[in-house]
Chain A
Amino acid sequence: MAFDLGTPVNTALLLYILYSIQRIIFPSNSVPQSVPNEFKNGYTWMPKSHPPTLLYQTYTPKTLEPFNGKEGKRILLAIKGVVYDVTAGRNFYGPEGMYANFAGRDASRGMAKQSFDEEMLTPIDQPLDKLEDLTAEEIENMKGWMEHFSSKYIVCGKLVENDAV
């Protein structure tokens, strides 16, 4: 070069200036090969997965029972044949919660009678609780709980007899 810079510092600065000028006059038009999954990594991006959506399924007392929150599973609970996903309320219905009895079970009688005792639950291999001996007031109470659950949690299935599937 005719222009002698003489020092490495000047050479380095000159190279940086030439590089910057090149980037400004010839901007990059490269498109990344794969679409990034984070918006920090590019303007054109796609989230990795769809927003979570539950599949509406038909459960029996036997298939509902595993969903009691143990080992990180979802927590489901049924009232009058409607199955709710109460995983968001793990504090209440999870393994250490106050109402853990209801997890994975038909909680209709307990909701009606406002009790969390074991005797409110029917064993899994027996037919579903017909709820015939409830008073009108208890049925009102149960319906109130169903409304509360419908607004707070997700309706994700229905509960039928063991042999109905």
Chain B
Amino acid sequence: MALSDYLVTDDLTIILALVAAGLFLLHNLYKPQALVHPILLGRQSDVARVRNPSESAVYRNYGTGMLGRFPLRPTKDQQVLLDLVKPDADAPRTLWSTKITNPQLRERAANFGAGLVRVAGLVPQEFNVLLLLNDGIEFIISDLALASHSVPSFTLSSLSLLSSVLESHPPSLIITEAEFLPHLLELIYDSNESEHHSIVVVGDVSASQYRQVQNVKIVHWDDIERQGASLDKPILSTPEPSDVFTVAFYETPSGGYDGVQLTHENITAGVAATRALVPPSSALSPLDTIVSTHSLSTPYGRAIAYTALFEGTGFATVDSTKLIKPEGAASLTGLKDLRTSGSYHISSPTILFVHPHHLSSLTDTVLEEARKSSWLLYNFAWRHKLAGILEGYITKQSLWDRLVFDGARVKVMGKGAGTVRAVMVSGAPLEAQALTPSRIALSVPVINVHSHPLAAGPIFASHALDLQTFPPAASSSPSASAADAYAFTYLAPVGPPSVNVEVKLTGVDDAAVEGGADPVGALHVRGPSVGRPLSAEEEAAEEDQRGWRITGERAKVAPNGTFKVSVAGKA
């Protein structure tokens, strides 16, 4: 038979050809487009052209550039802490359970400050005040009042530091919760201090039994505020941005403790950096509600709270941030902890700043619910979502979300299923394998952030729309310790440095780096959001070497400018 006999076509051919053409177009052109073009993810840090021997080059965020200036504040009007509460934005929003506007907040802070001066005898620049408060509006009001009166405040990241700090840096005034008062008085009595203390107590004191200690004056918070409201407010001198407004004490991995001095400029720079975590197309606005699992007693938690205050969003924290817990209360983790934010009167959260155990608990629960609903559909949905992620695309409005994941999310998160639009994870190492299930379960940007007790604001933050998934890479350097090898192989990259931080690694193997290997070394940071530790030595003479702070962590850089950090003392 001739060739033409084989190539006979009929009506069926035309139909099949049309269907084939349609499917070809559908399959090839209807591919989802990546949220961010991969070429941008190949160069996420700007690198200096020269490096010193045994150090790596200095790395900065690519958007800032080696020649750019670091953003010091969100806008030029925010010079000191009180400026972060904008006086002309008078829309009410809910902070924990209090509905309040900015002018009202400023007024309460001014009242409290005036009351402190009159009742507790606060002397600006001579007093130190220790804030032993759980996160709440009283913390913010005290902080703002003390900052405007130029009185440094002390905060502790955990109560185990209390006795050491009382000994080494005795405060003149302590603000604490009513339930902690007996314990605190015991501590002061036992330490036999001759200092005159005043204690301001938040909450109802009559219920707790406490022993009166000599030389210790106990005042109630409400009294101070009430008395302050009736006083004339003195004209206060504005503090300088370079004045220290707080010292945050934290535990070091070696078992001791250290304190970091934060100036007004550090916190405004931290707020500027925290605002830059979300992509500019979906920036923070007064319509948002932020839930944070980072305590206000840490610099990063403070920066998140002040970002919420600055942007006019609602704000609440969870139970695990409490410094002072009731006796015998179990510390919650994961989803149970996140749900405690529901006890406040905020509206449904839109942005979450959480720890990895919250994220993994939330992810596991959502996926479990989705699997229970329909096993077959769940597998299809997982397959399609994963194919999208491998192309760089994730969305909350796809068919599979409607069929499978939305129902699961609503069961787990309630109203948050519809409102949560970004999740920032920091505070502990996050495994790379945990990221993809979280992205599929939540279908919102999950941003890996690295924070450190020295900096108000993040140090590293991954690109918000970066969905790259790298397989675990074999660690090539034989001299790395076991913790480093684990971290650099299995942990998720934390991205490039934040917009106002520059980093460098020291103790780098020059021969390996010249041969093209990834630099690995001790991490040093510098920037306007990095505070000065109390243990810092004399500043170096030259401008170039001044201001570098040792973090005590080790890090590794990848060729695309992202970092992986191995936290000291933790596996």
Contact = CB atoms under 8 A, between A and B. Distances in A.
Contacts of B169: none
B358 interface: no
B324 interface: no
Interface string A123-165: 0000000000000000000000000000000111000000000
A43 B38 contact: yes
Given A29-B386, A44-B469, A5 B558 contact: no
Contacts, number: 123
Contacts of B390: 29, 31, 43-44
A72 interface: no
A7 B9 contact: yes
A159 to B, nearest CB: 15
B6 to A, nearest CB: 5
B10 A7 contact: yes
Interface string B377-402: 00000011011001110000000000
Given A24-B23, A43-B392, A13 B13 contact: yes
Contacts of B17: 13
Contacts of A31: 390, 469, 471
Contacts of A63: none
Interface stretch (B41-49, B102-110, B190-198, B331-339): B41-49
A17 B43 CA distance: 41
B51 A54 contact: yes
A91 B106 CA distance: 64
Nearest to A44: B468
A55 B38 contact: no
A56 B544 CA distance: 14
A98 interface: no
B47 A53 contact: yes
A50 B514 contact: no
Nearest to B23: A20
Contacts of A57: 53
A47 B559 contact: yes
Instruction: Please classify the interface of chain A as helix (H, G, I), strand (E, B), loop, or mixed, using the class held by over half of its residues.
Output: loop
A5 B43 CA distance: 54
A56 B513 CA distance: 13
A5 B519 CA distance: 63
A48 B517 CA distance: 10
B50 interface: yes
Given A27-B383, A44-B390, A56-B53, A50 B48 contact: no
Contact of A45 (B7, B10, B38, B49): B38
Interface residues of B, number: 51
A47 B113 CA distance: 56
Interface string A29-57: 10100010001001111111111111111
B559 A50 contact: yes
Contact of B27 (A7, A24, A35, A50): A24
Contacts of A44: 38, 390, 468-470
A50 B558 CA distance: 8
Contacts of A53: 47-51, 57
A38 B7 CA distance: 42
Interface string B37-66: 111011100011111110001000000000
B468 A43 contact: yes
A107 B37 CA distance: 46
A56 B52 contact: yes
A35 B387 contact: no
A16 B37 CA distance: 31
A5 B101 CA distance: 75
A57 B51 CA distance: 9
Given A27-B387, A56-B51, A20 B24 contact: yes
A85 to B, nearest CB: 8
Given A43-B34, A46-B470, A55 B42 contact: no
B8 interface: yes
A118 to B, nearest CB: 30
Given A24-B23, A53-B50, A56-B53, A10 B470 contact: no
Given A27-B384, A47-B43, A56-B52, A17 B19 contact: yes
B471 A46 contact: no
B560 interface: yes
Given A16-B24, A50-B518, 9 more contacts: A7-B7, A7-B8, A20-B27, A24-B23, A31-B471, A39-B38, A43-B390, A44-B390, A46-B42
Ranked 4 nearest A-B pairs via Cβ: A27-B387, A20-B23, A13-B16, A39-B38
8 contacts: A8-B7, A13-B13, A29-B386, A43-B391, A44-B470, A50-B518, A56-B52, A155-B50
Interface of B: 6-10, 12-13, 16-17, 19-20, 23-24, 26-27, 34, 37-39, 41-43, 47-53, 57, 383-384, 386-387, 390-392, 467-471, 510, 514, 516, 518-519, 557-560
Interface of A: 5-10, 13-14, 16-17, 20-21, 23-24, 26-29, 31, 35, 39, 42-57, 154-156
